Structure 1
Amino acid sequence: MQTDNPGCAMCGKAIPAWRTPTAVVCESPTCAFRFAAVPAHEQCLICSRPVPPLLRAERQCGSARCRHVLLVERPRAALQEARAAILASAPTYQAQAAAARGLTVDEGRTYALSVIPKNADRVKRLPPRRRQAFEVHLRKQLAGARQRLLEGASPSVSAVETAPETPLTSRRRAELAVLGAGCGACRGNCCRGGGDHAYQGEDSMVRYLSRYPDREDDAIIADYLDYVPSRTMSAGCVYQRSDGCALPRDMRADICNSFYCDGLNDIRFLYGDGRPVRAFFVHHDGTTLHGGQFVEIPDGAD
């Protein structure tokens, strides 16, 4: 049975239970002497055990636990710590921006604070090879979708579809608008993973085929390719323009309509209590805040 402590790092014998759980050598003086001679750069950053020669550049012993801590837990904790520091300084930053805009302290606080990233990629002409790669991907997903429908699959409900008896209220529309403004201010940082597939999968194609059951494959492919712009963000989705997505919401992959970054999640549920639909979007680059945009969406009667 494997334990958290696999035994002495020098001789492999079990380490007595009375020793600290983090001990890496047994009580043998010889083992202690041998371990003391191991240079620090040849010890695992997590458990301090000697690192095999092939793993010395990574400074980890090779155990699954140490790899997970070094490659997953520590980077995640560092990101959380950096975000916490940024969030702690954001209210002061917002107050200064509000004052520079001529708002009183109380007026500035009526704008919900949202700390978001910003995509710094530039707009470039979309290479033909990317458009071709997207078409190949679409045809593959479309073929899979037709097979699923033949097998009796039912289309999933898109995140933008609502039942006729539950239309969007004006406040919900305003909320979606302010969230859209946040995405626009960010310039689609989360869309950068769309690449040459735009997150389009068989589920998207099944929904489209269900709406247009008599449409031929070439016509469906043309429907999607018609929206691909000639100029897109250099490293993002084929539909990603500097001012947002070129594809209509009802044709997008479900994740594109349902994903909210941390900054938008911080404010998305704040508009149901009657407070004004306002937000202050400020960008972060991982360590510092910069920019800032006050947004207000008029809220009509329900």
Structure 2
Amino acid sequence: MKVFITGSAGFIGFHLTRRLLADGHQVVGFDGMTAYYDPALKQARLAILRRSNAFSAVEAMLEDKDALTEAIALFAPDIVIHLAAQAGVRYSLEHPDTYISANLVGTFNLLEAVRANPVQHLLIASTSSVYGGNAQMPFREVDRTDFPVSLYAATKKACEAMSHSYSHLWKIPTTCFRFFTVYGPWGRPDMALFKFVDAIERGEAIEVYGNGQMQRDFTYIDDLVEGIVRLSAAIPEEGRPVEAAGVTDSLSSVAPWRAVNIAGGQPVGLMPFIETIEKCLGRTANKTMLPMQQGDVVATYANEGLLEALTGFVPGIDVETGVKAFVDWYRRYKDAA
């Protein structure tokens, strides 16, 4: 297969690209290499990907419509996987304009490029944040997502809505997959695991929001990648919902479009998560307990039934295994820096 991936030098994009290359596919990666976090980490990921002759990279911004359209037209991919976005709930409080330009304008440009260059399947990264103020758990794909509590969530919800309209109008088979707190080696420095490990190793205090009462449905990166790869073959067909006991398909009634959670449905409390990090590091963290930040939610918890019905797969790598893998990578990476 020929697979076009936006955000290929990012955390998830890097792991997904490596997996696809290992599986024998040809990949073109499109990435703006933005300075949201240390570009050296992105360059290190990209250097690994470039070892494969089946990979080529295009460095440009999603907002550059001509560059994006040209890259897709020249490659003529079978599948497009759209991962690139301005991420982070807290960053959206201070830099809202970047979310409008990258997530809304960028995704619009991608949809236009795919409309002009049809593909077998378009997959778009969404997030558990779209469930926002929804108090009913576990989150099901058919639950309402009308009450986002951060601009980040609002833009990702908008991306889902835009992609649905294009899927309806132009019959583009589209899957929006919703991530739940992804973690693992090569992770982003702004995410909790990286921040906690880095601070503890430096002997600095960690900031624990929500007074440690939050829960997250942590998803290890290899599980997420497996889910995406399997979903890429589960192409939505209008009028053909999946039939499985206890599962309600999110397949649109007017388009070959669906949303799917990728998570194991096993939420973990923040304090047990920190205890796991301490155990792996062999050190106790100094903790600064803080109230909930604006835009955050108390808990995330996925219903994984639709993913299993579509792919036969449910993420299952436990937090202890995943955190240890991250700590081992972190120490190697820092030693090599």
TM-score (norm 1): 0.21
Relative contact order (alpha carbons < 8 A, sep ≥ 6): 1 or 2 greater?
1
TM-score by length of 2: 0.19
